[in-house]
Amino acid sequence: MFWYFKYPLIVIVVIAALGLTSLLWRSCLKTLPQQENQENTAAPAVVTPPATTTAAPSEAAAGTGLPPPPPPPAFARIEQLLQKSAQQLAAGNLEAARLLAFNALKQPELIEFDRYWFQAADIINEANRRFMNEGAPCAEKVRYIIRAGDNLSKLAGKFYTSVEALQRLNNMPGTDPVIHQGRALFYLKGSWSIRVSKQQYLLLLYRDGELYRYYHVGIGRENRTPTGNFVINSRIKHPAWTPPGKRIPYGHPDNVLGTHWLGLTPDEGTDASLVGYGIHGTWEPNTVGTGASAGCVRMHNEEIEELFAFIPEPGGSAPPVRVLIEE
């Protein structure tokens, strides 16, 4: 009878063990992480945020192909004036272009020698270059009818100018000083002054206190160009160079003065011993914009020639041309 109960009991025990094992296995599966079916569901891509960089608005716009943002309100007026001024210059309306550029210079937000200043000064420079060297009319050009007994030298003294300036303004060849009674002659009215900025390597020419032209210059090496107030006391074409104990004539390879010389003498308030300095040309144009001279201010020959032409002869009836040299 024992075997009759023995085998069914073993079967029951085995079934119970299998059932318990199955329950334990399912319980373990619930605690394991679920793996997604890679065949049916793709894992989402990991997105890495872009690195944060700080860029100027114009740079950011350039990188995206978008137009640059508008200038700050304080400078919008300046840019508007400069844009209109450039358009007038391109159209040949020189006085209108110059007036708009002057208005830009007078804006309180503008800083001297910043990019806006140079944009305005470049337009003024170009307009006045044409007024000085071409027949273009302007408000400061005065028309005079030549009378009997007039000559260029006499008129230059009368109008506080120079023979060379009259020749430039009236498209007269430098070799022909003859003028004819009854014909019109133009001259520029106004008084000139000069300011040299050593830091900017610039010479600024003013007419009646307003910027008229600017030129790039070289100065003395090792800060040898003195600062202070000076007056032009000599005006020499084709100058000889006279370093201590020498006289090197114009045209000699050792003469460094270029084609023209404007001598300087100290004015009131400036050390009276600062003599022998001047503004002159150079045969080394690559030194303009650098400190290379013995202390003088040097310019390109073609530019000192223009400046020289409009400086009246010192010691005459014209008021002296004052020069401020500053750091």
Other beta carbons within 10 angstroms of residue 274's beta carbon come to 16
* Per-residue pLDDT tens digits for 167-223: 999 999 888 789 999 999 999 999 999 999 999 999 999 999 999 999 999 999 999
Percent of the chain exceeding pLDDT 90 equals 73
- pLDDT band of 20, cuts 50, 70, 90: low
Are both 249 and 292 inside the same structural domain? yes
Task: Indicate if the pLDDT at residue 305 is higher than 70.
Answer: yes
Are both 285 and 216 inside the same structural domain? yes
Q: Kindly state the tokens that stand for 302.
A: 């073609």
Are both 308 and 202 inside the same structural domain? yes
Residue 177 lies in a domain: yes
Are both 236 and 147 inside the same structural domain? no
Structural domain including 119 reads: 73-133
Residue 62 lies in a domain: no
Are both 321 and 285 inside the same structural domain? yes
* Per-residue pLDDT tens digits for 70-112: 667 778 999 999 999 999 999 999 999 999 999 999 999 999 9
Q: What's the confidence (pLDDT) of residue 18?
A: 62
* Per-residue pLDDT tens digits for 104-140: 999 999 999 999 999 999 999 999 999 999 889 999 9
Residue 290 lies in a domain: yes
Are both 200 and 180 inside the same structural domain? no
Residue 46 lies in a domain: no
- pLDDT band of 21, cuts 50, 70, 90: low
Domain limit, last residue, from 188, 206, 221: 188
Contacts by 205-209, CB closer than 8 A, 24 or more apart = 205/307, 205/310, 207/140
Are both 302 and 196 inside the same structural domain? yes
User: Quick one: 146 exposed, middle or buried, by C-beta within 10 A (0-12, 13-18, 19+)?
Assistant: middle
Are both 128 and 153 inside the same structural domain? no
Are both 280 and 315 inside the same structural domain? yes
Domain count, the chain: 3
Beta bridge partners of 279: 262, 297
Are both 231 and 158 inside the same structural domain? no
Are both 208 and 314 inside the same structural domain? yes
Instruction: Look at the pTM and tell me if it is higher than 0.95.
Output: no
Residue 9 lies in a domain: no
Give me the DSSP letters along 107-147.
Answer: -TT--TTSHHHHHHHHHHHHHHHHHHHS----TTEEEEE--
Residue 91 lies in a domain: yes
The residue behind tokens 């100065």 is 219
